Structure 1
Amino acid sequence: MEVRQLKTFMSIVKLGNFSQAAQHLGYTQSTVTTHIQLLEKELSTVLFERFGHQLMLTADGERLYDYAERITKLAEDAKNELDHFDVPRGPLLIGMPESLCVYYLTDLLKEYASLYPDVELKLKFGISSDFRFLLRKNMMDLAFFLEKNLHDADLVGKFLWPEPVALITAPGHVLAKRGWVDVKDLKGQTLIFTESGSSYRAVLEAALAKAAVHPRTVLEICQLQTIKQFVMSGIGLTVLPLAVVKEELAAGSLVALSWQGPDLTMNAYLVYHKEKWLSQAIRAFMKLIQERLLK
């Protein structure tokens, strides 16, 4: 029985299936399957059973999970106790919106990797709701949030900066000629959004729902560059942080509308779980954020 097999087992339980566990751990699905098969062979039992599409623990699987939590925690404590505390090392998984990574953190991440080559730095792009789940399951170390406010009792959030967000379109769009634009002007328009769950998208969608305004079409696109290309071609409007469209606004290929609706500005936070042990790798990253971005 190996600790990595137990970690694979715990990841499957937390995430609900083999494929997501494989993606999270950076394994192939066949490797994850092999880990479970080896555990079941060694323990002479079955750990999971399927009911339709639902994966469930057997009674023996539930008993093993309690032991797995204690064993992996002891292994981590032993490593932390015996390791050199003054040298950042080991895995560090950070979640962040694509916009923050590309437009704020690229140089900082490059510097961190150069300063601390023994840290196994991994990045995961996504949204705050996904990161909350992973932080609470102790499957992510740090995450950057873009939200109005942070009120989670079990999370610690360091405020970083306010992030202006604007309604963006092509200069030839009919609304670009308006002195100002409010919610009712979006009736019958095509809106191009990032993935569902984005905080600034949620603010605009709530305003549309409250005013009973219905766009003609809503397109959901995960890639920021594709969204900008669609908007520049005149397909519709989008809502994005100004940092994402800084170059296009300066070049005149996109314009920010004079928005009279609810404030879209978000705040950037660096977040971790309140019970998270802050390793030297985590502390070094937080220190670099403080020195480079919060001067």
Structure 2
Amino acid sequence: MEFRQLKTFMSIVNLGSFSQAAQFLGYTQSSVTTHIQLLEKELNTILFERFGHQLMLTTDGERLYDYAEKITKLADDAKNEFDHFEIPRGPIMIGMPESLCVYYLTDLLQEYTLLYPDVQLKVKFGIGSDFRNLLRKNMMDFAFFHEKDSSDTDLISTLLWDEPMGMLASPDHALAACHNVQIKDLQEQRLIFMESGTAYQTALEEGLAKAEIVPKTILEICHIQTIKQMVINNLGITVLPLAAAAEELKAGILIQLPWQGVELETNAYLAYHKDKWLSHGIRAFIRLMEERLLK
């Protein structure tokens, strides 16, 4: 029984599928399948069974998961006990919204990798709800959030900075001539968002539902540059951090609408689980961020 096979097994359980575990671990799906087949052969049992599209643990799979948790915890404890390297090394998984990475953290990431080449830095784009799940499963070391406030009792959160938001449109958009834009003005408008689950999108959608306003369409696009280009081409309006559209606003190809509806302002936070052991690499990243961005 190999340690990596147990890590693969736990990743499948935590993420819910072989394919997601393969993507997360950086393996091919056939490698993940082989790890499980070897475990099942050595233990002479079946670990997973399928009901339609649902992957479930067998009774023996549940028993193995309890042991796998204890084994990996002991391995981590042993590593932490004897890891006295002053130079950061090893893997670090960071979660962050794309806008924070591109418009705030790119130079920081570059400097960090130059300072600490022995750290295998991995960055995962996404939203707060996904990051929370991964932090709680110890499958992500720390994450950056766009939230109005932070109230998770099991996460240690640090407020980094205010993040001004803007409702953006093309200068040719029908709402561009308005002196103020309210919830009712979004009736039959096409809205373009990053991903569902962001704090500002949730606030806007709740405001729309309360006012019984129905947009024409709500599109979800995974890349900020694509969203901005669609809005520049007058295909809809969006809500983005103003930092993400500073150049386009300065050039006049995007405008900030005078929004008077629900509050969209948010903040940037850094968070990690309260039980997380902060390795030398994690501490070095946080220290560098404080020196470069929080002066």
TM-score normalised to the size of structure 1?
0.98
Looking at structure 2, the residues matched to 287 and 42 of structure 1 have their Cα atoms a distance apart, in angstroms, of 45
Looking at structure 1, the residues matched to 260 and 66 of structure 2 have their Cα atoms a distance apart, in angstroms, of 54
- SS in structure 1 of the partner of residue 207 of structure 2: helix
Looking at structure 1, the residues matched to 33 and 208 of structure 2 have their Cα atoms a distance apart, in angstroms, of 46
Q: What is residue 191 of structure 2 aligned with on the other side?
A: 191
Q: What is residue 92 of structure 1 aligned with on the other side?
A: 92
- SS in structure 2 of the partner of residue 181 of structure 1: coil
Looking at structure 1, the residues matched to 217 and 82 of structure 2 have their Cα atoms a distance apart, in angstroms, of 58
Q: What is residue 64 of structure 1 aligned with on the other side?
A: 64
Quote how far apart the aligned CAs of 1:85 are.
Answer: 3.6
Q: What is residue 20 of structure 2 aligned with on the other side?
A: 20
Q: What is residue 79 of structure 1 aligned with on the other side?
A: 79
* Percent identity (aligned): 69
- SS in structure 2 of the partner of residue 153 of structure 1: coil
Quote how far apart the aligned CAs of 1:172 are.
Answer: 1.2
Q: What is residue 293 of structure 2 aligned with on the other side?
A: 293
- Which deviates more from structure 2 when the two are superposed, residues 181-190 or residues 122-131? 181-190
- Which deviates more from structure 2 when the two are superposed, residues 80-89 or residues 204-213? 80-89
Matches within 5 A, 1:1-295: 1-295=1-295
- SS in structure 1 of the partner of residue 95 of structure 2: strand
Query: Which amino acid counterpart does residue 32 of structure 2 have in structure 1?
Result: V
Query: Which amino acid counterpart does residue 71 of structure 1 have in structure 2?
Result: I
- Deviation digits for residues 41-89 of structure 1 (CA, Å, limit 9, x no counterpart): 1112111111222211122211111111111111112222222342211
Please, which runs of 5 or more residues in structure 2 have no aligned partner?
none
Looking at structure 2, the residues matched to 265 and 202 of structure 1 have their Cα atoms a distance apart, in angstroms, of 12
- SS in structure 2 of the partner of residue 55 of structure 1: strand
- SS in structure 2 of the partner of residue 282 of structure 1: helix
Looking at structure 1, the residues matched to 194 and 230 of structure 2 have their Cα atoms a distance apart, in angstroms, of 12
Looking at structure 2, the residues matched to 123 and 2 of structure 1 have their Cα atoms a distance apart, in angstroms, of 27
Quote how far apart the aligned CAs of 1:239 are.
Answer: 0.6
Query: Which amino acid counterpart does residue 146 of structure 1 have in structure 2?
Result: H
Query: Which amino acid counterpart does residue 210 of structure 2 have in structure 1?
Result: K
Quote how far apart the aligned CAs of 1:28 are.
Answer: 0.7
Looking at structure 1, the residues matched to 84 and 49 of structure 2 have their Cα atoms a distance apart, in angstroms, of 42
Quote how far apart the aligned CAs of 1:214 are.
Answer: 1.1
Looking at structure 1, the residues matched to 189 and 83 of structure 2 have their Cα atoms a distance apart, in angstroms, of 58
Please, which runs of 5 or more residues in structure 1 have no aligned partner?
none
- SS in structure 2 of the partner of residue 160 of structure 1: strand
Query: Which amino acid counterpart does residue 7 of structure 1 have in structure 2?
Result: K
- SS in structure 1 of the partner of residue 179 of structure 2: coil
- SS in structure 1 of the partner of residue 192 of structure 2: strand
Quote how far apart the aligned CAs of 1:289 are.
Answer: 1.1
Query: Which amino acid counterpart does residue 291 of structure 2 have in structure 1?
Result: E
Query: Which amino acid counterpart does residue 275 of structure 2 have in structure 1?
Result: E
Looking at structure 1, the residues matched to 65 and 209 of structure 2 have their Cα atoms a distance apart, in angstroms, of 44
Query: Which amino acid counterpart does residue 226 of structure 2 have in structure 1?
Result: T
Quote how far apart the aligned CAs of 1:114 are.
Answer: 0.7
Quote how far apart the aligned CAs of 1:195 are.
Answer: 1.2
Looking at structure 1, the residues matched to 17 and 39 of structure 2 have their Cα atoms a distance apart, in angstroms, of 17
Q: CA RMSD in A?
A: 1.0
Looking at structure 2, the residues matched to 111 and 274 of structure 1 have their Cα atoms a distance apart, in angstroms, of 27
Quote how far apart the aligned CAs of 1:93 are.
Answer: 0.1
- SS in structure 2 of the partner of residue 263 of structure 1: coil
- Deviation digits for residues 165-187 of structure 1 (CA, Å, limit 9, x no counterpart): 01000011111111111111111
TM-score normalised to the size of structure 2?
0.98
Provide the aligned length of Structure 1 versus Structure 2.
295
- SS in structure 2 of the partner of residue 42 of structure 1: helix
Query: Which amino acid counterpart does residue 44 of structure 1 have in structure 2?
Result: N
- SS in structure 1 of the partner of residue 9 of structure 2: helix
Quote how far apart the aligned CAs of 1:270 are.
Answer: 0.3
